[in-house]
Structure 1
Amino acid sequence: MGYRIGAAKNMIYSNFAQLYDDLMEPAIYEEWEQFIARLTGKKDMTILDLACGTGRMAVKLAQEGYTVTGVDLSDEMLALADQRAHSQKLTIPLLQANMTDLSELAQFDMVISCLDSLCYLQNPQELKRVFLQVAQHLPAGGLFVFDVISPYQTDKIYPGYTYSYTNDEQAFTWESYSGEQRHSVIHDLNFFVEDKKTKQYERFTEIHHERTYEADYYLKLLLESGFYKAKVFGNFGREEIKEQTTRFFFVCHKK
């Protein structure tokens, strides 16, 4: 499960971007790349990675032969993405923008948004605004693929959820509890990072809010936004969704 932000209005990563990046599991990006490959069947495509974060997905897709552009609201995330691209000797355009306003961007064959970035949007109006923006930057038949956490995840799994991670230099705790809005959750993240000089640990805290909706509501907004065909799946497109599906994967075609 992801805890990347870097996308929604007023919800950007701070100086802890590198810490988040260290905690993300590489396997999820491999799953996403295989998912995209199954959908497209070809590599000569332009892809916009919406809320690209530290660039792991963008770099992986570029290494596979896709032409990728990354967009994120967080300059800290984009700085890490730029470092990652250069370390792999790749040139990837990385642009700072809010996903609710993509007016300065060109068209792409495909737009993706990974790791529930859309769940950091504050309300349905912002969500639909993003869908409309994406549709405007796709050609007829263009693909929009994204994932979000499900109401089962926010309502049943996350409340009371705890996670901790420790190594020789830092410690991390994650606690989740229900938000005030329906199908919303609040994540309380705490980092304890060692100061190399003093050998003391400094604590950093961030509060993250996520919100999701029923699958049918996403489909309704997508159809209203110009996607003539939109389907939802579980497990990276391999399964139909069920009552206990924790993450929805949407595959949408523009009219």
Structure 2
Amino acid sequence: MSYKQFAYLYDELMSEAPYDEWVRFVKEKLVSYSSLNDSSPTEPLRILDLACGTGELSVRFAKEEFQVIGVDLSEDMLMVAKKKADTEGLAIPFYQQDMVELEGLGQFDVIGIFCDSLNYLKSEQQVRDTFSRAAAHLQQGGLLIFDVHSLYKVNEVFLEQTYAFSDDPISYIWNSFPGDDPNSVEHELSFFVLDEKTGKYDRIDELHYQRTYSVEQYSGWLEEAGFKLLEVNADFEHIAPQADSERIFYIAEKK
């Protein structure tokens, strides 16, 4: 999947995303597992924002005095991210890599895969490989924190739904359909973007695929990759998932 055109529309689509909630959640987990803060309190914690997209969370973490590196597969997403960091006067390194093949970035205290980015991987093996590469980039005792769509959200909330948004510069229609694989969904998006020079709207079509798995599957793959699963939470709260929870958070420690 390419984000070439979508990169420049992504922030509009995600304008109401609760980015501050992700930051709050991560900071609260770091307090809960305070061993990361005990070793060298004068040094900022190193966090890898994996699948960082347009850098909204990278910038926020940097403002919270984390030492941040952002990684994404899309060159266009990274261009948007770098522009944001430069505008804020933040020296955040950004690298173009596939998280399935992550390499050469050193050791981190925390790796985050946020905004259901892991759900864009198309196979079980890609998820397992990502966990393995994340473990290789974490110091012993470091944390992997990620969130994914629940089975409930993919199979009952998304499927056969249509979402629409209309505004002067950008409007869109978003249709969701069952994917070919179990617990998967295809998002068909059509954007209508105003060309200020001509006064006409350009149409941009995107097809996005997402797939999720059960708590038991994710937990088993984390164990295989060398992690100890610490918690499974739901919907930005420190509570166990319920039948209708939509976003599942995993907090795992490298053994």
- State the TM-score bracket (shorter-chain normalisation): over 0.9
Q: Which residues of structure 2 form unaligned runs of 5+?
A: 32-36, 38-42
Aligned 1:12-51 pairs, distance under 5 A:
12-25=2-15, 28-41=18-31, 44-51=44-51
Partners of 1:36 and 1:50 in 2: CA distance: 14
CA contact under 8 A between 2:229 and 2:250: conserved in structure 1?
A: no
Q: Distance in 1 between matches of 2:120 and 2:126?
A: 10
Report how far residue 12 of structure 1 moved: 3.1
Partner of 1:190: 190
Residues 46 and 108 in structure 1, CA contact (< 8 A), matched pair in contact too: yes
Match of 1:87 in 2: 87
Cα displacement string for residues 75-117 of structure 1 (whole angstroms, at most 9, x for unaligned residues): 1000000000011110001000000111221110000011111
SS at match of 1:103: coil
> How far did 1:160 drift?
1.8
How far off is 1:26 after superposition? Answer: 5.2
* C-alpha separation in 2, matches of 1:199 and 1:171: 14
> Where does residue 3 of structure 1 map in the other structure?
none
The one-letter code of the counterpart of 1:14 is K
Q: How far, CA to CA, are the matches of 1:230 and 1:38 in structure 2?
A: 14
Q: Distance in 2 between matches of 1:39 and 1:209?
A: 30
**Cα RMSD for the two superposed structures:** 1.3
Aligned: 1:226 with 2:226: yes
**1:155-234 → structure 2 map (5 Å cutoff):** 155-234=155-234
Superposed structure 1 runs of 4+ greater than 6 Å apart: none
Equivalent pair of 1:174/1:188 in contact (CA under 8 Å): yes
Residues 132 and 225, structure 2, Cα contact 8 Å, conserved in 1: yes
Alignment partners' CA distance in 1, 2:161 and 2:105:
39
Asked if 2 retains the 8 angstrom alpha-carbon contact of 1:185 and 1:210, the reply is: yes
Measured after TM superposition, the shift of residue 238 of structure 1 is 2.0
Q: Which residue of 1 aligns with 2:69?
A: 69
Amino acid at match of 2:155: D
Following superposition, the deviation at residue 152 of structure 1 comes to 0.5
How far, CA to CA, are the matches of 2:234 and 2:196 in structure 1? Answer: 44
- TM, length-normalised to structure 2: 0.93
Please state how far the C-alpha of 1:142 moved relative to its aligned partner.
0.5
Matches within 5 A, 1:141-156: 141-156=141-156
- Give the Å deviation of 1:171: 0.9
Tell me how far apart the structure 2 counterparts of residues 90 and 65 of structure 1 sit (CA, whole Å).
Answer: 10
The range that moved more, 168-177 or 118-127, is: 168-177
Aligned length, in residue pairs: 245
- For the 8 Å contact 1:50–1:70, the answer to whether it is kept is yes
For the 8 Å contact 2:190–2:203, the answer to whether it is kept is yes
The Cα of 1:181 is off from its aligned counterpart by 1.1
CA drift at 1:202: 1.5
| Percentage of pairs with the same residue | 40
Aligned residue for 1:131, secondary structure, equals helix
Deviation at 1:151, TM superposition (A): 0.8
Q: 2:148·2:212 contact (CA, 8 Å) conserved in 1?
A: yes
